[in-house]
Amino acid sequence: MNILIADKIGVYRFGFKTIIGELWTDAVVSEACNFDKAIELVFDNNFDLLVLDIELAPQELLANFIGKAIRHTKVVMLLGDCLNEEASSLSKIGADAIIFRSTSKEEVSDILKWMFS
């Protein structure tokens, strides 16, 4: 399994990487700490999953990016603690799941397992 975690906050990338490593020991996890790096990586690699922080770029850029990315990979949107109007409209583009930053480790694991069941 090949996974990209695109989040500007390193501790969140580390947390996802840890959970993914516990679920799939053979997973290859790449990281992007900004939107430009995410764009560069996602279309040049064959990812099974993109975990995307919706605060990486303005909504218009994210909408276009997500619309293209979902043709190639499953997409999880990483949000703050509530589903605001921006996040709601982005989720309608076709993200496979939404995970809030306050979601427990067990819930994140369950969501990821469900996505690949």
User: What pLDDT does residue 25 have?
Assistant: 96
- Other CB atoms within a 10 A radius of the CB of residue 87 amount to 21
CB 86 within 8 A of CB 54: yes
Whether residue 90 is predicted with pLDDT greater than 90 in this model: the reply is no
Residue 10: name the closest of 41, 38, 36, 31 by CA: 31
Measured between alpha carbons, how far is 35 from 42 in angstroms, rounded to an integer?
10
Range(s) of the domain holding residue 84: 2-115
Q: What is the pLDDT of residues 41-62, one digit of tens each?
A: 998 999 999 999 988 988 888 8
Q: State how many domains the chain has.
A: 1
CB 49 within 8 A of CB 4: yes
Domain with residue 77: its CATH number is 3.40.50.2300
